[in-house]
Amino acid sequence: KNEVEQSPQNLTAQEGEFITINCSYSVGISALHWLQQHPGGGIVSLFMLSSGKKKHGRLIATINIQEKHSSLHITASHPRDSAVYICAVRYNNDMRFGAGTRLTVKP
Amino acid sequence: NAGVTQTPKFQVLKTGQSMTLQCAQDMNHEYMSWYRQDPGMGLRLIHYSVGAGITDQGEVPNGYNVSRSTTEDFPLRLLSAAPSQTSVYFCASSQPGTGVAFFGQGTRLTVV
């Protein structure tokens, strides 16, 4: 069983829809990261969370340490949000990654 | 532009050949790491370093060597390439505490 599970694996939405991607993990962590991988392959760090909630533009990330769960929300989705979103957890200096959620936003 | 520079972008090797993937950052980050990304497997940590002179193994270190002689550079060496090492490799750096990681553009390696 993967230590980091993401759902859904694939997600198709219409422009303007509210998007939620979920991440569950099974190990004690020091931090959780959300990454975005563009169709060209480049990876960008979106958030690092150790507790609570963070917001950047239309993106919101939350984490519940007790439940070992995090969510990434995208409000007013846009075709340019189409990418693979990856959840990663850090414990000590090691990192474990989810398999990613492929998001397609249609105009 | 400041960031993580990773070279080469593409490489084809024959089984048994050796090569070094280069990674350099100019942000004075202490933490640097190498990952491989395979279809259906996601990203996996190969090796990491928390500072010059300090390296450690990640989840999939076999077949790879690293060194960290300076803060800026963190090369990944394949001593004897195998087809199982065909993958896309990413280097990243970050500063402990800020959490923001910067990734290189990736190296697509094919071992034939």
pLDDT digits (tens, 9 = 90+) for B36-71: 999 878 899 999 999 999 999 999 999 999 999 999
Average pLDDT, chain A: 93
Instruction: Check if the beta carbon of residue B58 is closer than 8 Å to that of residue B49.
Output: no
Least Cα distance to B59 among B70, B47, B77, B68 occurs for: B47
Res A1 pLDDT > 70? no
- A48 falls in which pLDDT band (50, 70, 90)? very high
Quick check: A86 contacting B, CB < 8 Å? yes
Of B44, B50, B98, the CB nearest to A97: B44
Contacts of A97 in chain B (CB under 8 A): 35, 42-44
Res A27 pLDDT > 90? no
Summarize the confidence of residues B20-46 as an average pLDDT: 93
Q: What are phi and psi of A80, to 5 degrees?
A: -70, -10
